[in-house]
Structure 1
Amino acid sequence: MTPPKSKPPERDLSPEKTQAILEGAMQEFLERGFTAATMDRVASAAGVSKATVYSHFQDKEGLFAALIQQMVQKKFQSIFAPQNDQMLQEEPEVVLRRLATIALSVGTNDPQFLNFLRLIIGESGRFPQLAQAFVRNIEKTSFSMLRQYFSSCPKLKLRDPEATARVFIGALIHFMIVQEMLHGKDIIPMERDRLVDTLIELITSQAL
């Protein structure tokens, strides 16, 4: 008996099918981890052939990297979107407070994002390339844009804009990891506004 032929890959994926594949991949990776996840289950969840998934994302690592890119862009690129250029013209204290508030809200109000970040960190020892993909996308959407703002803001004139951008984002990420991911709210509690106030004061006080 001749086995049934597999469906050929779809050459052009609609945005809806692309999103369906990414959503299926997110569910699969979060449920099973990177190692145990399979492209077969991703394809089944998305309602496409496995060949289609492979033809558009090459392999499981490529699919995971695409998820990282989508997640980071969706969560962080909007903070520095072109329509926010007018916001960046306001006083530095106002700009930094808005950026910090939006970033913390993005990082703490989305359980799926936190779980995906846990997965990236958990797999970083065995698959460093996955963590590096996350860092590269954060660099594109956050570090470089914030560094540009710190370099060009005439009211700040910082000694080291790049290091200051790392301090700013690093403090927010540390807060999110300790408070939310590691469940440290009751152990070392810290009000969000208190952190943001101190961070802004540290940055504005170092201006030349």
Structure 2
Amino acid sequence: MNGVEQTELSQLDTICEKAEQIFEGALQEFLVHGYAGTSMDRVATSAGVSKATIYNHFGDKEGLFIALVKRLAQKKYQIFVESHKAELMQAEPAIALRKLANTILDHSMQDQEYLAFIRLVIGESGRFPELAKTFVHNLGKPGIQVLTEYLTNQRYIMIRDPEATARVIIGTLAHYVLLQEILQGKEIVPMERDRMINTLVDLISPNLTSAS
């Protein structure tokens, strides 16, 4: 690697560090003050950077918020699916589904910052539909695609509509998090997670064929 390449890599690292610094500051401000109540001055102070630096990276507040939504969605997708994808693709259906469900619920329901951000995205989605679309595009859609691929390619599982089944599974998990945690419903309509996961597995069990 020559000197020019090293300089370019160093500059990229600096840009990434600055962006991450801005993301961390912006997240705290948006969670505390909401979208409307957050100013670029607040974000700059929280992130420890100049306001000009934020504008150079993201253009405006909406651009920053969309980038933050995309970053968090991609980060959760990496945790939920991508880091376990190879393992899940090789596992038996009942094992894979339990693993996926528990991973999603563990990393959703135990992350209060993530839950608070979901509330924020939902609350702002009426005025800024692109925010919700960005979240779905970077987390919901790829998750459904991976699960659909798994259900389609499993030779021991016979499902008439793999995509619809994947949507039912992901939708059930999302609804569980939404109702139990985001909407504070766990004391009103309690449901043990193992009971819910077992029921999901039972839904596909009649479609399992013998291994012979």
TM-score higher than 0.5 here?
yes
Check the 8 A contact 1:120/1:131 in 2, yes or no.
yes
Per the alignment, residue 41 of structure 1 pairs with 42
Cα offset for 1:178?
Answer: 0.8
AA aligned to 2:179 is V
Distance 1:164 1:184, change over 3 A: same
Q: Which aligned segments of 4 or more residues in structure 1 are displaced greater than 6 angstroms? A: none
Give structure 2 stretches of 5+ with no counterpart: 1-10
> Hey, what does 1:77 align to over in structure 2?
78
Percent of aligned pairs with the same amino acid? 49
Corresponding residue SS for 1:154: coil
- Write the letter of the residue equivalent to 1:20: Q
Deviation at 1:140, TM superposition (A): 4.6
1:107: Cα distance to partner? Answer: 1.1
Distance 1:110 1:141 in 2: 21
CA drift at 1:82: 5.7
Instruction: Report if the CA contact (8 A) 2:76-2:139 is conserved.
Output: no
What is the SS of the residue equivalent to 2:49?
coil
RMSD, matched Cα: 2.0
Structure 2 equivalent of residue 183 of structure 1: 184
Higher normalized helix content (fraction of residues): 2
The letter for the 2-side match of 1:204 is S
Cα shift readout 1:67-90 (whole Å, capped 9, x = no counterpart): 112212222223322664134212
**Greater CA deviation, 115-124 or 125-134?**
125-134
Quick check: 1:150–1:161 contact (8 Å CA) kept in 2? yes
Which SS does the other structure have where 1:159 is aligned?
Answer: coil
Q: Quick one: structure 1 residues 31 and 83, their matched pair in 2 at CA, closer, same or farther if it must change by over 3 Å?
A: closer
How far apart are 1:173 and its partner, in Å?
0.7
Contact 1:150 1:156 in 2 (8 A): yes
Equivalent position amino acid for 1:36 in 2: G
- Aligned counterpart, 1:5: none
In structure 2, what is the Cα distance between the partners aligned to 1:157 and 1:29? 45
Distance in 2, Cα, partners of 1:15 & 1:158? 43
In 1, the alpha carbon distance for the partners of 2:164 and 2:83 equals 24
| Cα pair 1:151 1:161 within 8 Å, conserved | yes
CA distance in structure 2 between the aligned counterparts of 1:186 and 1:82, rounded to whole angstroms: 33
Could you tell me which runs of 5 or more consecutive residues in structure 1 were left unpaired when the two chains were aligned.
1-9
Q: Using a 3 Å threshold, how does the CA distance of structure 1 residues 150 and 71 change in structure 2: closer, same or farther?
A: same
Q: Structure 1 83/194 Cα, relative in aligned 2: closer, same or farther at 3 Å? A: closer
**1:106 match:** 107
Query: Which deviates the most, 71-80 or 37-46?
Result: 71-80
Equivalence for 1:195? 196
SS, match of residue 200 in structure 2: helix
SS in 2 for 1:183: coil
